[in-house]
A and B are shown apart, each in its own frame.
Chain A
């Protein structure tokens, strides 16, 4: 485990921002902290960054209790991010890298590598106010990863990026993971990161609802629901059979074929093959997909279950 949080709580006056939050982030994984605005994500992330002190609870980084020297092992891209307007790109990238503990020479060498890699060498002497928002975010990304931190924390990483840049950054993040970094995402736009995350924790109103491996959670929350498209001559009969033996749900998916579409949920004890056997009797199956719950679905389910 690279990062372990144990019952971390934080209150501002009478308002509890975070209530006994515990997570375990394995090494070289991508961990998503998901939840709506105001759930406590940023508070938690600020505690890990030692910007805010928790009222209670413990945090370990790579086996050691979290302490000030750890800032150099963490790269943090906050949600509220900006740069000095009147400083040149190169000067402030150097400054920020040195604050993270790199020597000036080393910082310069690595910056040159990154600037060439992202093909932005021409920006070195420009001031931030001359750059677009997307350009500035590239610089912020570089500054975040430059000191090769063990733990990278991105708060709402893709807000403000256009799709092309967002993809570029996604690729870079995956590459950083391959190179050994551990990544912590925090976002309220759950669909934006779910395909990247290995683990996730859902939080709502200062409390953690569930956490675990994304595949396990999806397994746990799957409802044995299948989307089916079939070309058949006996439409009425098929519908009747399906309604009597299975649960027929409102049809919500779209497809490019012209056949009949059904969303079918199995009853307890039924298997997929039983459904398929029924379907094959009535026509040609063009589309058969298990409906995997999205993080959004899981979130809504757990929130309604806990309410």
Chain B
């Protein structure tokens, strides 16, 4: 016990004092936030460009229906011929030319309208124009048939289904999205943690091998104690890193939101717009908050911790065994694939099967297989999973942890004293019998 504590202490300090770790801990949240702003800025830059669209409407049907906005300016070129218009658009470097030929039959006209553009135009922009034209032509046809348009407008009905399960809990589309986000983020975070900290465990095992200190240490402590100490010490370092990220993240978020919020409210004040819009968004925010609070949050947090610790233990035992089996990091490649694969599989199953059908057979099976259960089950929990199902899954996970740690410890014991050649899977199995 005493040596385990010593090893955990050393491993923790070795990780935390490492320069890369310190930089990662403090700089990566800044980079993340920076990236976020950069992406937002670039997206904004891309959209802020004003598009000039010339319209040559020979039919004279809808030239007056296009209303220029901030982002798209429409120019009436109806007095030109098509060739003149094209030359002029080119000379003025407009975004494009919309050509509506003369055609009395509206149905026929619909397939004859053309958009000329220098570059392939933005898909959303084309869709927008198409929608506008379609809307106008439909209305024209309807009026031709003697239909009163205002009656149609009146008759328009918006439908939003209220979804309720048999026990009477209400759900809505909003809550589906929120569940998806919560489950997805939890599952994805777990995968990232397992890969990052698992790799740390592996590297520190390899370090002891390449430094040739391993034999000195295992003449004092049992290899299993050393392995356990490494896994625990690294996980403590990981948890500290995570906590620091959470703190930095929430501080940054606070700063950003007060900054943005302040800007927003000052704009509102100067513009003096009636607050109808504001109220609507407030209502929406309240709804989101309600949905979040309606989630099994306590269960989610407890399960996140359990599955995080369980999954991390399971995988870092494997990582430690891999580290022991090889001499240097480049040799780990062939063993990495079987480790990464179940993790990737879990995330894919989570994002496709679980979100599609949280209680389908695929989701249920994968939330019980120990290598994928931490991620898949976490993604399922927001949709409501019976407690006994979670208990079974956790029991399987814990059982497998003991099994995998036992296997890993055997490979570890033999592997740390083997130098020189990269073992094959066959040899690893042989080691289990030594």
Flag whether B260 is at the interface (Cβ < 8 A): no
Q: Specify which chain A residues have a CB less than 8 angstroms from the CB of B217 in the assembled complex.
A: 96, 99
The answer to whether A49 touches B219, judged by C-beta atoms less than 8 angstroms apart, is yes
- How far does the Cβ of A128 sit from chain B's closest Cβ, in whole Å? 8
Q: Specify which chain B residues have a CB less than 8 angstroms from the CB of A72 in the assembled complex.
A: 220
Distance A100 CA – B211 CA, assembled complex (angstroms): 20
The answer to whether B219 touches A82, judged by C-beta atoms less than 8 angstroms apart, is no
The answer to whether B219 touches A51, judged by C-beta atoms less than 8 angstroms apart, is yes
The answer to whether B220 touches A99, judged by C-beta atoms less than 8 angstroms apart, is yes
The answer to whether B419 touches A98, judged by C-beta atoms less than 8 angstroms apart, is no
The answer to whether B213 touches A83, judged by C-beta atoms less than 8 angstroms apart, is yes
- How far does the Cβ of B424 sit from chain A's closest Cβ, in whole Å? 14
Given the interface contacts A12-B434, A51-B417, A68-B222, does A95 sit within 8 Å of B6 by beta carbon? yes
Tell me which of A51, A85, A86 has the highest count of chain B C-beta atoms within 10 A of its own C-beta.
Answer: A51
Interface residues on chain A, number (Cβ under 8 Å): 30
The answer to whether A140 touches B216, judged by C-beta atoms less than 8 angstroms apart, is yes
Given the interface contacts A46-B417, A95-B10, does A81 sit within 8 Å of B220 by beta carbon? no
Of B3, B213, B215, which is within 8 A of A84 by CB? B213
- How far does the Cβ of B223 sit from chain A's closest Cβ, in whole Å? 8
Flag whether B212 is at the interface (Cβ < 8 A): yes
Flag whether B430 is at the interface (Cβ < 8 A): yes
Interface residues on B, range: 20 to 34
- How far does the Cβ of B20 sit from chain A's closest Cβ, in whole Å? 11
The answer to whether A13 touches B430, judged by C-beta atoms less than 8 angstroms apart, is yes
Of B6, B215, B222, which is within 8 A of A80 by CB? B215
Flag whether A238 is at the interface (Cβ < 8 A): no
Q: Specify which chain B residues have a CB less than 8 angstroms from the CB of A50 in the assembled complex.
A: 219
- A66-92 vs B, CB cutoff 8 Å, 1 = contact: the mask equals 001001101011101111111100000
Flag whether B14 is at the interface (Cβ < 8 A): yes
The answer to whether A78 touches B211, judged by C-beta atoms less than 8 angstroms apart, is no
Flag whether A183 is at the interface (Cβ < 8 A): no
Q: Specify which chain A residues have a CB less than 8 angstroms from the CB of B212 in the assembled complex.
A: 80-82
Flag whether A143 is at the interface (Cβ < 8 A): yes
Q: Which residue of A lies closest to B433 (CB)?
A: A13
- A18-54 vs B, CB cutoff 8 Å, 1 = contact: the mask equals 0000000000000000000000000000100111100
Tell me which of B10, B18, B208 has the highest count of chain A C-beta atoms within 10 A of its own C-beta.
Answer: B10
Q: Specify which chain A residues have a CB less than 8 angstroms from the CB of B215 in the assembled complex.
A: 51, 76, 78, 80-81
The answer to whether A78 touches B219, judged by C-beta atoms less than 8 angstroms apart, is yes
Distance A12 CA – B2 CA, assembled complex (angstroms): 32
Q: Specify which chain B residues have a CB less than 8 angstroms from the CB of A77 in the assembled complex.
A: 216
Distance A52 CA – B215 CA, assembled complex (angstroms): 11
User: Interface on B for A, CB 8 Å cutoff?
Assistant: 2-3, 6-7, 10, 14, 18, 207-208, 211-213, 215-223, 417, 419, 430, 433-434
Nearest first, the 3 closest Cβ-Cβ pairs linking A and B are: A82-B212, A78-B215, A99-B220
Offer 8 A-B interface pairs, CB within 8 angstroms, sorted by A. Answer: A13-B434, A68-B222, A76-B215, A78-B216, A80-B419, A85-B207, A86-B14, A143-B216
Supply 5 further A-B pairs (C-beta < 8 A) apart from A80-B212, A143-B216.
A76-B216, A77-B216, A80-B419, A82-B213, A99-B220
